[in-house]
């Protein structure tokens, strides 16, 4: 084991502390906050008509696509897609993780 160096005096310790090892401490960046989406929870007549006219024409249908296009809640989008599947308007292609279904036109 190497021999210990000489002990530092209190003045040397204070001078080293005053000099500072780093120039400035990093400031924590403020995280970007996302605005709360004010999506509708229920399908009204106008939204349902837009769903049947615009959304059902697309080739890929997921709850996320419906949410982005119609600005509705995800649970309402899933319910509408399940309803269209039971009527035979759309058919399931595959299932992603966490139960997010992928549909296409029938």
Three-state SS letters, 71-104: CECHHHHHHHHHHHHHHCCEEEEEECHHHCEEEE
- Number of structural domains (the chain) is 1
**Spans of the chain, pLDDT less than 50:** none
- What pLDDT does 86 receive? 93
Q: Which domain holds residue 86?
A: 45-105
Residue 68 maps to a domain: yes
Examine residue 82 and state whether it is found in any structural domain, yes or no.
yes
What pLDDT is stored for residue 23 in this prediction? Answer: 61
Output the domain CATH number for residue 57: 1.10.10.10
Residue 53 lies in a domain: yes
Residue 67 lies in a domain: yes
Query: Does residue 29 sit within a domain?
Result: no
């Amino acid at each position: 084991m190497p021999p210990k160096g000489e002990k530092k005096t209190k003045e040397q310790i204070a001078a080293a502390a005053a000099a500072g090892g780093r120039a400035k401490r990093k400031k924590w960046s403020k995280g970007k906050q996302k605005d709360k989406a004010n999506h509708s929870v229920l399908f009204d007549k106008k939204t349902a008509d837009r769903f049947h006219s615009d959304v059902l024409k697309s080739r890929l249908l997921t709850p996320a696509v419906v949410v982005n296009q119609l600005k509705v809640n995800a649970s309402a989008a899933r319910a509408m897609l399940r309803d269209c599947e039971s009527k035979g308007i759309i058919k399931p292609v595959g299932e992603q993780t966490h139960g997010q279904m992928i549909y296409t036109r029938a």
